[in-house]
Amino acid sequence: MATLTFDGDPVAEARVLVMALAEWLKEQPEQPPSSGKAGFKYDTTGKLQWMDVTLDEAVE
């Protein structure tokens, strides 16, 4: 599981995170896609606070 905490401008932080992860994925060996889910937590103003990402368990 991965937990991301957003602080300041979550939209700008999310965009930078997406770009950084896309670059990182280009450097990784080819792997089949995994399934999973993401959960989002917002503060009382609707601003994104954090996100949890959990992969489904692999079936071998």
How many Cα atoms sit within 13 Å of 46 on the Cβ side?
Answer: 0
Question: According to the model, what pLDDT value does residue 8 have?
Answer: 86
Question: According to the model, what pLDDT value does residue 59 have?
Answer: 56
Question: According to the model, what pLDDT value does residue 60 have?
Answer: 55
pLDDT along the chain (60 residues), means of 10: 85 90 90 90 92 81
Question: According to the model, what pLDDT value does residue 33 have?
Answer: 81
Q: Which residues pair with 44 in a beta bridge?
A: none
* 0.75 exceeded by pTM: no
Question: According to the model, what pLDDT value does residue 57 have?
Answer: 82
Contact criterion met (CB below 8 Å) for 49 and 3 = no
Question: According to the model, what pLDDT value does residue 37 have?
Answer: 94
Cβ-proximal residues to 26 (8 Å cutoff; 6+ apart), any chain? none
